[in-house]
Chains A and B, each alone.
Chain A
């Protein structure tokens, strides 16, 4: 197991070169890449015959508050890739400031990325260049906020029954 992870790390480092910013080991390894290189990294991991990560398991956004990073508010994306024949999994991670929340869409590589990217856009406001149809997926299109960001309140704000001084919250 440890050997396999070591092999994977070496293979990925060789394939990505300077684009590999950081390697995160563990049971599900991750490679950190700059946001501008996401598309080319996923493309190379797909095309490289020795790696061949040709199944996109999932894709999700994440929001780091300024407290969590100590370096200003940031958004991130995590891609879960799977090499089915060799049964290896890995993640590709990227983080970027909220003001520059734009990466290139991977829909040309994976058809399944279409809705996952729309979900990340709907929840976090991350824009995807070259996406065929980047509109909100779950919420109504007139919504102006991005609900899964940490500063957005969870609870329905039209409720007043919880304002009770004795029994409310």
Chain B
């Protein structure tokens, strides 16, 4: 429980310096915070970043557009497909490519599964840090079920590289649809069991209610977005504010919290999982209503032609060559495209000079921006609560360190 210690550090008092990280197991990633401790109370924290700085933005300046998808996977690797599809949407905006409705809803299905996968790693870890490892073990099984869906669509589990500019590489197979329907049928009961185990659990509530809270004004000052901002009571969601990929045709609620503490963040994410399931149901119905077999835009300049045509036809071979070599003409211009990532507004800002690579690519990485509030949030709280706060913020080191 947070203690009322807004008082600044007193120079005459001796504080213990504690180095939390970068290899501490409780930090779930490579974070370092040098803490000033008064007994067990955190008085100040100084985070250090850059332990897995990989220079995405620099690499992106040397890669043709379609190859950058692979980099976006490794930003927030808990929900890679959102990053992939967000990048495709950004490029499609730059080249003014309209994708068919069916593709849009297929994308919604994938993105919402990715959101569930993201929340299924964050919330069980909050529980694990509060002492309930069972929830983690239980829910990870369902992440495996989502991995199976991704695998049957794109061939990879975690860093999916899913989809292409203009749509998907191939249509969802009957096996994919079987897995999706199986998940929709079986997951909710298991999820409610997990929810029931924690939501009104006395121990869990004692550990999380009133811990690591941030008020809405401060959250906005610190650039919070996503579930963390919604937990503080601001109903900002990119899917509503700037609808993309057909979200404006789907009905869903935005859950908001009241105090912005660990418990609210947990509950907001729990509710978002339910809303994502609702969205998937609707999107699956929309896909069924569209003409069958459409899985990409009709844009030969961007979409690889089928292999058998490449081997037998001149035109397809030329297009294949153009796409693979990144020789398609790209308009000069600047665009910014935000999507609602697993933990906030994920934005791609592309500056194109007409070359085969972006002149400059800036990624708005939500974790990097809101993690700076961490020292302020944990000031005056116990060390064990600081660990809980860190996991409830869902900071992903890969995304934070660029």
Contacts and interface: CB of A to CB of B under 8 A. Distances in A.
Contacts of B58: 147-148, 154
Contact of B351 (A27, A28, A54, A62): A62
A80 B372 contact: no
A112 B366 CA distance: 11
B59 interface: yes
A86 B223 CA distance: 17
B172 interface: no
Contacts of A7: none
Contacts of B353: 68
Contacts of B336: 28, 80, 89, 91
A58 B370 CA distance: 11
Contacts of A56: 223
A28 B335 contact: yes
Contacts of A148: 55, 57-58
Contact of A112 (B49, B62, B338, B372): B372
A112 B241 contact: no
Given A58-B349, A112-B370, A115-B368, 9 more contacts: A57-B364, A58-B362, A62-B360, A78-B362, A110-B221, A111-B372, A139-B53, A154-B55, A154-B61
A112 B234 CA distance: 17
Contacts of A115: 49, 368-369, 371-372
A5 to B, nearest CB: 15
A58 B49 contact: no
A80 B349 contact: yes
B118 interface: no
A23 interface: no
Chain B: interface size category: 35 or more
B372 A87 contact: no
- Lowest 3 A-B CB distances belong to which pairs? A112-B223, A138-B50, A138-B53
A55 B220 contact: yes
Contacts of B221: 110-112
28 contacts: A28-B334, A28-B335, A54-B220, A57-B223, A57-B338, A57-B347, A58-B364, A60-B349, A62-B351, A68-B353, A78-B349, A78-B362, A80-B349, A89-B336, A111-B218, A111-B221, A111-B222, A112-B369, A115-B49, A115-B368, A119-B402, A138-B53, A138-B402, A139-B53, A147-B58, A154-B55, A154-B58, A154-B62
A116 interface: yes
A137 interface: yes
Interface of B: 49-50, 53, 55, 57-59, 61-62, 218, 220-223, 234, 236, 241-242, 333-336, 338, 345, 347, 349, 351, 353, 359-360, 362, 364, 368-373, 401-402
A131 B360 CA distance: 25
A84 interface: yes
A84 B216 CA distance: 13
A57 B53 CA distance: 21
Contacts of B334: 28, 30
A94 B347 CA distance: 20
Contact of A147 (B55, B218, B335, B370): B55
Given A114-B372, A139-B53, A84 B236 contact: yes
A137 B220 contact: no
Interface string A17-56: 0000000001110100000000000000000000000111
A58 B86 CA distance: 17
Interface in A67-87: 68, 78, 80, 84, 87
Nearest to B57: A148
A112 B221 CA distance: 6
Interface in A136-162: 136-140, 147-148, 150, 154
Contacts of A30: 334
Contacts of A110: 221, 223
A106 B336 CA distance: 22
A67 to B, nearest CB: 10
B222 A112 contact: yes
B351 A87 contact: no
Contacts of A84: 220, 234, 236
Contacts of A63: 360
Contacts of B351: 62
A57 B344 CA distance: 11
Contacts of B241: 87
A138 B349 contact: no
Contacts of B57: 123, 148
A115 B334 CA distance: 24
Contacts of A112: 221-223, 369-370, 372
Contacts of B61: 150, 154
Nearest to A123: B57
A33 B401 CA distance: 30
Contacts of B222: 111-112
Nearest to A115: B372
Contacts of B369: 58, 112, 115-116
A82 to B, nearest CB: 9
Contact of A154 (B59, B234, B360): B59
